Amino acid sequence: MIKERPVSVWPFELDKLENWAYNEEIFSKEECDKIIEIGKTSLEKAKIFGENKEGVDVNKIRDSYTSWLFPSSDLDFYYRRLTDVITEINKKFFNFELYGFVEGLQFTYYKSPGGFYGKHVDKGSNGLIRKLSFVVQLNDPSEYEGGELLIYSESTPDRMKRKRGFLTAFPSFSLHEVSPVTKGERYSLVGWITGPAFK
């Protein structure tokens, strides 16, 4: 008689959720330059959700500048391209139920020395449920040092590829950070795709 080894796991179905996914070049150099040109026109010191709470020092959490880019004749092409690429990535790697863009796109500028965004998750506010986050690197990595996008699924983070036009998508509940920029300037485009509550 053959004795079978006891099995402790009986999955209903295999987990299809990836920690992150990417598109190698969502925008060309010229398209990235256009976003930078538009984004730099209305920069303000970046804020964080809950910064007015007692004891919260924004400067210890984040040091960057942002502006908001909403659908317009100048930006419709970018929204359409992002929609197509994110829809494809989501279907293949995450399979979340998504609504779309609700908050606009955030243009982010990190200045050396020390521009950074510490470890955080992209939890929504005001009832918004952020499900999928993405970051597009807009300038060439030769123009800055540091400023790496790090995504944590374990204690050691995954380091995202440094390339102009490179899009990284990941679940909004994932812990991530942007390491300090030690030289030059880093520009990125950030967005969140909302959807119904996770079940």
Decide if pLDDT at 105 tops 60: yes
What pLDDT score was predicted for residue 128? 83
What pLDDT score was predicted for residue 13? 74
Which structural domains are found in the chain, ordered by start? 21-194 (2.60.120.620)
Mean pLDDT, rounded, for 47-57:
66
Q: How far apart are CA 46 and CA 55, in angstroms?
A: 18
How does residue 9 score in pLDDT terms, banded at 50, 70 and 90? confident
What is the per-residue pLDDT across 118-165, written as a single tens digit (0 to 9) for each?
999 998 767 789 999 999 999 999 999 999 999 999 999 999 999 999
Mean pLDDT, rounded, for 51-76:
85
What pLDDT score was predicted for residue 116? 97
